[in-house]
Amino acid sequence: MRRTLPGAFLLALLAGPAFAAPLEIASAWLREPPPGSSGAAIYMELHNRGDAPVAVVGARVESAASAAVHGHRHADGMMRMYPVPRLEIAAGASVRLEPGGYHLMVGGLAAAPRAGAVLPFCLRLEDGAEQCAEARVRGIGE
């Protein structure tokens, strides 16, 4: 039997998205959705550890129908959400997704995530790579 594993392993290492994507996702969390709601907003910190800009151009949550980056802006005394099709993080910079600002809007969750659980998600980057992480579900008063 030929031993092909080391070669394949090396190839996987070279082709792995970790090499192409210097983006680090930290402290991801979401609030437990209220009963009857199938939507949620995921917050997180994005750190670009690389020496070139990185842009988030999409997202996916396996158990949800939709996931997209949104922003918030004040208009006529109201907070309105708007889609952010491309969120760029400059080289060496960080961007916070936090309540009242950017968030990852999740819609059509198959099952409502409960406090203490984690919700896996992936961000799609402009170069085609994906960066995945888990968001921790916080309770209502947490």
Task: Give the interface size with Cu ion as a residue count (CB under 5 A).
Answer: 3
Structural Rg of the chain based on CA atoms = 17
Rule CB under 5 A: choose which of 105, 109, 119, 129 binds Cu ion: 105
Q: How far is the CB of 49 from Cu ion (least distance, A)?
A: 27
- Residue closer to Cu ion by CB (options 129, 135) is 135
Pick the closest to residue 126 from 21, 49, 15, 12 (CA basis): 21
Is the distance from CB of 69 to CB of 121 less than 8 angstroms? Answer: no
Q: How far apart are CA 76 and CA 91, in angstroms?
A: 35
User: Binding marks (x or -) toward Cu ion, 7..26, rule CB under 5 A?
Assistant: --------------------
Is the distance from CB of 61 to CB of 121 less than 8 angstroms? Answer: yes
Q: Footprint of Cu ion on residues 71-100 (CB under 5 A)?
A: 81
Does 30 engage in binding with Cu ion (CB under 5 A)?
no
Pick the closest to residue 94 from 19, 23, 18 (CA basis): 23
Residue 75, beta-bridge partner list: 78
Q: Which stretch binds Cu ion (CB under 5 A): 1-9, 53-61, 91-99, 101-109?
A: 101-109
- Residue closer to Cu ion by CB (options 21, 30) is 30
Per CB under 5 A, residues contacting Cu ion are 70, 81, 105
